[in-house]
Amino acid sequence: MQDYKRLAELVQERIDGFLAHKQSELQPLGSEISELLTASRNFLSGGKRFRALCVALGFRAVKPISFDLPLSRSAHSVILAATSLEFFHAAALVHDDVIDNSDTRRGLPAVHRSFEGLHRQQRWRGSAEEFGLAAAMLIGDLLQSWSDEIMQQALHIAPTEITKRAREHYNRMRTEVALGQYLDVLEEQYQGFADHDTQMDRSTRVLLYKSAKYSVEQPLLIGAALAGASLEAEKTLSRYGIPAGVAFQLRDDVLGVFGDTEVTGKPSGDDLIQGKRTVLATIAREKLQGPHRRLFDDMHGDPEMNPEQLAMLQRTIRDSGALEQVEKMISGNVSLAHREARGVEIHADAVESLINFADRLATRNS
């Protein structure tokens, strides 16, 4: 994993360099835009870099790559593609916080809350809340635009014959994330849970398209395409990436209910307060009967829920056996990913890294 630590450092260097260039390039627009650039820089500092790592893993699954200096042309292309996905991920999180009306991200005020605070601090006219929302949406749009710009740079470096496939995966990822986010928003408009089978189908589709595929499968495929992967190799990586991504998001669902605020940077039980109909919540509701289910329905999504009620709802979900079932689902998906990582289409140098990565996705605590 030392090589991937080096990758994270190189990606951060590219992020810092790109933003420094933009700051200079956009100087004629005036000092007013500095707040947007500062917010972008702060949001892109640090993070787990899972998607960047996936790009490198996807390439390495097809052929070896080194991030030692001097960097090869392929390494430059992979680093730029990985940087592009970090910009895209940042944009998705900024927009997601607006959609979910979240107050915090990584233990700090969400971007829209930060700009809302700026408006109040400066005592500007109009609505501070509306200004915060507008600024955050524009920052998200800006980050998406920059993601595309950086991906163009990555594909310009890569040999012409392989760029088409990488671009197709990138475009598909962007489309699926937007539609997955819409499915999530739509889910919140329904009056309540559907019958169990219908609800599980809807919750699983949100999980898959809003997060699982774009977090693991599509970044892997972009990296593999940059290495000139065969269609068979891409299919194997998809069969690895989807269960690994599902395990990743199921763990996220668990953390959204039981996570430690000090570690996750998000309020404990936030998914319960927001009324997210996740796979975990859907399974828990199905297991509860009579007054216990009615209590769950009354409390789930209550923005006025106090800490004692939240603790009781968390305990109810745990006691129902839903958490145990989701943990088994996570383990099952990791096992599927392990099996595909050992496939004949995967380069031997990448097998252990892919197996370790699936484990890391499934056991994270933030």
- The CATH number of whichever domain residue 286 belongs to comes to 1.10.600.10
Q: Which two tokens stand for residue 174?
A: 């962007």
CB neighbours of 86 closer than 8 A, spacing ≥ 6?
A: 11, 15, 44, 47, 49, 51, 52
Residue 2 banded pLDDT, cuts 50, 70, 90: low
| Predicted local confidence at residue 1, as pLDDT | 53
For residue 185, pLDDT beyond 70: yes
Average pLDDT over residues 328-354: 96
Residues of the chain with pLDDT > 70, as a percent, come to: 99
Res. 91: pLDDT tops 90: yes
User: Into how many domains does the chain fold?
Assistant: 1
pLDDT class for 105, splitting at 50, 70, 90?
confident
Half-sphere exposure of 181 (CA within 13 A, CB side): 17
Among 221, 312, 274, residue whose Cα is nearest residue 103: 274
pLDDT given for residue 223 in this prediction = 98
In tens, the pLDDT along 297-318 reads: 999 999 999 999 999 999 999 9
Q: Which of 12-16, 33-37, 310-314, 359-363 has the lowest mean pLDDT?
A: 33-37
Q: Which residue has the tokens 């671009």?
A: 167
> For residue 105, what is the enclosing H or E element?
strand 104-105
**Mean pLDDT of all residues in 130-135:** 97
Q: Can you give the pLDDT at residue 299?
A: 95
Residues in Cβ contact with 340 at an 8 Å cutoff, skipping those fewer than 6 apart: 236, 237, 239, 240, 243, 346
Tell how far CA 286 is from the center of its chain.
28
Could you write out the DSSP letters of every residue in 175-219?
Answer: HHHHHHHHHHHHHTTSSS---HHHHHHHHHHHIIIIIIIIIIIHH
Per-residue pLDDT of 292-301, as tens digits, reads: 999 999 999 9
The average pLDDT across 59-67 equals: 96
Residue type, 54: C
Least confident of 42-46, 257-261, 322-326: 42-46
Q: What is the mean pLDDT of residues 326-350?
A: 96
Closest CA to 12 of 45, 42, 52: 45
Q: What is the CA radius of gyration of the chain?
A: 21
| Residue range of the domain that includes 54 | 2-363
Tell me the percentage of the chain whose pLDDT exceeds 90: 89
